[in-house]
Structure 1
Amino acid sequence: MTCINIQMKGRIKIWFHSGNSFKIREFSLRKSFLFLFIFISLACVGTVSYFGHDYYLLKQNTLDNVALLETITAQKTELKDQRRQIQMFAGEIQGLKEQITKLGQLESQVRLIADIDKSGRSSGLFGIGGVSKIDLDQEIPLDAHHNALIREMHHQVKQIKSVADKEKLDFNDLIDKLTKKKNLLASSPSIKPVSGAITSPFGYRKSPFTGRRTFHSGLDISNRIGTKIVSTAFGKVVFAGRKTGYGNVVIIDHGYGKTTKYAHLRKILVHKNQQVKRGETIATLGNTGRTTGPHLHYEVLVNGTPVNPSKYILN
């Protein structure tokens, strides 16, 4: 139990009494000291409350700033990853354009080799610009060239799709023409009919029999009697027998106006109307007919006119 007794002489007496004891303690304080103590206590409480509130606000702002900084960092990382992916995609677009260019070049080479006209077709790759190396630079700021790069990529994807569709049509056209030309290529004489040395070329020569200048309509290829002779292209045997001056002869019609003749044969191994393939054995070398020794007389005729067989030997 505590009792406070305020004296008139400017002092304040305070008694402390405990319920378990009969002792009473007395304290005497000046009134001015008590008021000063109360004032200082209130001032301290106010100061601590003021600075405590400021500290709380500062701490809260710090936490908010940290969270905001983490969000900004995460967004920057995400943007950087997106830009890297976009740049990789741009590089893949460039590689795809290069592949399409190579396919176009391959198509042109095949057409040239097969003698197939492109019929006015031109590569659709002309006019497609490349992606700028500046746009592909990983070190440029995230906001620089970003939107322009995306727009350019969309534009190029459209162009590449258009070119790819056109190249597909070109290849379909090429395949169709190659298919049609397949039989022509298979029926064109292209190999040497027999191994050996060419002893008499195509063209004018001095006749070994008369000594006069005469036209030789084929090639004379010499070798041992019995050497295998093959068909130089796919075709149909239209003659297999003897002819005056030529001895044993095989004539093969290859279609498309092309015919080959094989003369001075020892033995004929095919018959009339038989289909033969390029490289198939049709006879053996001999010296039948009018000859000065064993050899093959080989002719190539186009629409009935003898042409230089050397132009039709690729091996």
Structure 2
Amino acid sequence: MGKDSYTVLIVPKKSSNVKRLHISGKLLKGLVGVFAFSVLASAYLLYDYVSVKSQVWQVKELLEENETQKGQLQAFSNKVSTLENQMVKLRKFDAKLRVITNLEQPKSMEPYVGVGGPDERKLLDYGQRRNVIVQQMHSDLDNLSVEAAVQEESFSELMEFLEDKKSMLASTPSVWPVRGWVTSNFGKRLSPFTGKYKNHDGMDVATRTGTPIVAPADGRVTYVGVESGYGKLLVIDHGYGLATRYGHNSKIFVKIGQKVKRGDKLAAVGSTGRSTGPHLHYEVRVNGVPVNPRNYILN
């Protein structure tokens, strides 16, 4: 045997026959090399498996986190959209109040919110889209903040005006004095008594006898009595040149000089005076001149 050979003795447990296995040095080295390579390869594969599995878990966690963030972004975007819609409603309400109060309109907010064009976010990947969406929401919030500040200033101006005009508004006959059917409006009409056209200085509201008549605004009673054509007549002075007249009453519950508030019971519907049936003849006068009562009624 050469110097580079090795002998392996195999001694069976139940036999005395000894077997000899001769292995050359080169073969032994080869076997050791293969074994070492197998161990290293197995270790590498195990490490790679653990590493890949860890990355899979990380990717899974990132996907779940992205889904959560997408949901949060969508919810936040919906809230911003809701706030924008509420601001639109507030602007419309503000504009209506300014028409009623004859105040100038506030500075327009169109430069802050008027944008358009194609949605470039569709051309971006999710990460880029998320950044764009976040930036857009920050921009929308900045716009809403500016608009809210302008709206707050506008409402403050309206509040100050309304406080100053509170007494005048309370003295404006803006509600119906009685509920019923309008049988004759203000203006020219065919007289039921003469058959000729004649100017009607008020508005007739037909309803049952005894139906309560209420004050359409704050004021003071200046006349209670019977007058030709009107029958039992009641007159209220509301100040600011405004007065209201109530004709054909069956009963009157207030006295001259008495102060009344909007909604107070004044009289009961009747058919006294020149009348074809139970109704209220209602007039509004400005500085003594009859005007259309509908111009003041809001409800």
1:83 positional shift: 2.6
The number of residues matched between the two structures is 274
Listed as ranges, the matches of 1:3-42 within 5 Å are 32=1, 40=23, 42=25
Match of 1:126 among 95, 114, 128: 114
Question: 1:47 corresponds to which residue?
Answer: 30
**What is the DSSP-based 3-state SS (H/G/I as helix, E as strand, rest coil) of the residue aligned with 1:40?**
strand
Contact 2:223 2:233 in 1 (8 A): yes
Tell me how far apart the structure 1 counterparts of residues 4 and 279 of structure 2 sit (CA, whole Å). 145
Listed as ranges, the matches of 1:168-187 within 5 Å are 168-173=148-153, 175-176=155-156, 177=158, 180-181=161-162, 183=166, 187=171
Instruction: Output the TM-score relative to the length of structure 2.
Output: 0.72
Question: 1:214 corresponds to which residue?
Answer: 198
Tell me how far apart the structure 2 counterparts of residues 37 and 201 of structure 1 sit (CA, whole Å). 131
Contact 2:186 2:201 in 1 (8 A): yes
Match of 1:235 among 202, 213, 218: 218
1:226-285 superposed Cα distances (whole Å, 9 cap, x missing partner)? 332122x3311242412643343333344565432212323221232413223x321112
Listed as ranges, the matches of 1:100-179 within 5 Å are 100-114=83-97, 115=99, 118-123=105-110, 124-127=112-115, 134=122, 145-173=125-153, 175-176=155-156, 177=158
1:72 positional shift: 2.4
Question: 1:27 corresponds to which residue?
Answer: none
1:140-174 superposed Cα distances (whole Å, 9 cap, x missing partner)? xxxx6244224313322321221232343355346
Larger CA Rg, structure 1 vs 2: 1
For structure 1, the 5+ residue unaligned runs are 1-31, 136-143
Tell me how far apart the structure 2 counterparts of residues 208 and 147 of structure 1 sit (CA, whole Å). 81
1:58 positional shift: 0.8
Match of 1:82 among 48, 65, 73: 65
> Which shifted more, 290-299 or 36-45?
36-45
> Which shifted more, 66-75 or 169-178?
169-178
* 1:250 aligns to 2:230 (yes or no): no
Q: Which amino acid aligns with 2:200?
A: H
For structure 2, the 5+ residue unaligned runs are 8-21
Q: Which amino acid aligns with 1:52?
A: F
Tell me how far apart the structure 2 counterparts of residues 154 and 242 of structure 1 sit (CA, whole Å). 74
Match of 2:245 among 255, 261, 269: 261
Contact 1:101 1:125 in 2 (8 A): no
Contact 1:128 1:159 in 2 (8 A): no
Tell me how far apart the structure 2 counterparts of residues 60 and 100 of structure 1 sit (CA, whole Å). 59
Contact 1:221 1:295 in 2 (8 A): yes
Contact 2:172 2:218 in 1 (8 A): no
* 1:284 aligns to 2:259 (yes or no): no
> Which shifted more, 296-305 or 45-54?
296-305
Tell me how far apart the structure 1 counterparts of residues 149 and 237 of structure 2 sit (CA, whole Å). 35
Contact 2:253 2:265 in 1 (8 A): yes
**What is the DSSP-based 3-state SS (H/G/I as helix, E as strand, rest coil) of the residue aligned with 1:194?**
coil
Q: Output the aligned Cα RMSD.
A: 3.7
Tell me how far apart the structure 2 counterparts of residues 234 and 181 of structure 1 sit (CA, whole Å). 16
Question: 1:4 corresponds to which residue?
Answer: none
> Which shifted more, 43-52 or 242-251?
242-251
Tell me how far apart the structure 2 counterparts of residues 132 and 303 of structure 1 sit (CA, whole Å). 64
CA gap 1:194/1:125 in 2 versus in 1, 3 angstroms: same
1:63-120 superposed Cα distances (whole Å, 9 cap, x missing partner)? 2211221232133223323332332233224312321232123214423554366423
Q: Which amino acid aligns with 1:121?
A: S
Tell me how far apart the structure 2 counterparts of residues 45 and 76 of structure 1 sit (CA, whole Å). 46
| Identity in percent | 28
